Amino acid sequence: MSRQVTFISSHGFFLWPLILYHLITVPIYFYFEAVLDDQFYWKKRYLLLFVPFLLGVVDVIAVYASPGMIDRILDEAITDTGNRFKVQYWLLGLHEHYLIRHLWQCIFLLALLRKLRGFLREGVSDRLKGTLNKWLVFFWLILMVMSLMAILHGIEKWLDISVFDYFFGLKNGSLIVTGTLYLIVFVVGVIPIYFPTILQGYPRPRKPTATINKVMDQVPDIKFGLDEVEIKKKLDDLSQKKSYLDIGFNVSKCARELEMPEHHLSYFINQYYGLSFTAYKNRLRMEHAKKLIQNGFLQNNSMEALAEECGFGNRSSFSKAFKNSVELSPSEYILKIRKK
C-alpha cells in the first residue's frame, strides 16, 4: 500500500507538472507583448516559445508509453531520495528540462528589452503611464534575476558542482532560488491590488486618423489605438444627458458609463482635448454655468444655488473652477454680460 501511494505521488510529481512548468514563459511573454503593443496578434515566431513545452510533452509521452521507465523512475525516487531530482527521461533529465525552461525565459526577456525601452520613452509626463513604466521595469528585472539564478542553479545540478558556493559563498542554492521564487510570486500578486491601473495597459500609436472638427475649438491629430469616433459619440451622449452636472461625476464613473478603463479615458481626453479629465469636466460645467447666467438664473437664485446646479458642493470650489476655465470670476463675468 505504501509503495502504491509513493508510486502515485512520484508518478504525478515527475510527469504532468513538467508540462505545466514549461508553459510559464508563454503567458509572461504574451503579457509584455500585449501591453507594449496595446494589442495582440499571433505570429509564427511565437512557436519558439513552446520548444521547452514540446520537449516536455515528448518526454512525458515516452514515459507513459514505457512502463519500464516509470518503474525505474519510481525505484530511483524511493531508493535514492537525495538524488530524486536527477531523474532521467527519454530525451532529457529533470535538471536539463529545468535549465532549458529558465534559459528560454531569459532569452525571450532579452528579446523584449528593445521594445520595452522604446515603450518607456513614451508618455513620460503621464502619471499613470509613469506607474505602468515602473511596474514593467520592476517585473522585467525580477523575472530576469529569477531566470539567471535558476540558470545557475540548473547548471549546478546538471554538472553536479556548487556554483552558488564557488561564486557567492552560498551553500544552499535550492533554498535561495525557491525563496526568491516565492517572494517574486508574492510581490507580483500584491502590486496589482494596490495599483490596478497597471493591468489596463496604455494606448499605443497606430494609424493616424483624419482631423475631425471638435467642440471647444480643439483640433489635435489623434494617432493612438482607440476608437475615437465611438468614444467621442459616447462622451457627447453623456454631455447631452448632462451627466457631468452630477456632484459625484468623476473619471471612474465616466469610465464605467463608457465601458472602458479609466487610464484609456484619461489618455483620450488629454490627447483629444488637451485637458485633464477634471479640466474637461469643469469646462463642460462652466459652459452650462455661463448659459444659466446669461438666461438670468442669478436674478432669482443665489451663487450657492448656481454652484450646486453646476455640480459643485460649495461656492468656493465653483468660483475657483469658473475663474480657471473662463479666466474671469463669476462676478466679473456677470458685469461683462451686463455691459453688452
Confidence of residue 169 (pLDDT cuts 50, 70, 90): low
Cα-to-chain-centroid distance, residue 20: 23
**162 and 75 both lie in a single domain:** yes
Asked if residue 205 belongs to a domain, the reply is: no
- Residue 54 within any structural domain of the chain: yes
- Whether residues 60 and 85 share a domain: the answer is yes
Q: What is the share, in percent, of the chain residues with pLDDT greater than 70?
A: 73
Give the number of C-alpha atoms closer than 13 A to the C-alpha of residue 196, restricted to the C-beta side: 4
Are residue 34 and residue 182 in the same domain, yes or no?
yes
**pLDDT at 211 exceeding the cut of 70:** no
Do 13 and 152 fall into the same domain? yes
Q: Are residues 194 and 223 in the same domain?
A: no
Cell of 134: 515602473
Instruction: State whether 36 and 160 are in the same domain.
Output: yes
**Grid cell digits, residue 101:** 525552461
Reading the block at residue 94, the C-alpha cell is 529533470
* Cell output for 116: 520595452
- Residue 169, classed as helix, strand or coil, is coil
* Segment 142-148 long-range contacts (CB within 8 Å, at least 24 positions apart): 142/184, 142/187, 142/188, 143/28, 143/105, 143/109, 143/184, 144/106, 144/109, 145/180, 146/102, 146/177, 146/180, 146/181, 146/184, 147/102, 147/103, 147/105, 147/106, 147/109, 148/106
Give residue 200's pLDDT band: very low, low, confident or very high (50, 70, 90). Answer: low
Choice between 189 and 141, residue whose per-residue pLDDT is larger: 141
| 121-138 residue pLDDT tens | 876 666 777 888 888 999
159 to 30, 186, 275, 281: CA distances (angstroms):
32, 31, 60, 65
Phi, psi of 323 (to 5 degrees): -70, -40
Range of the domain at 269: 215-339
Q: What is the pLDDT of residue 50?
A: 93
Tell me which of 199, 230, 250 is where a domain ends: 199
100 contacts: CB under 8 Å, gap ≥ 6: 51, 52, 55, 92
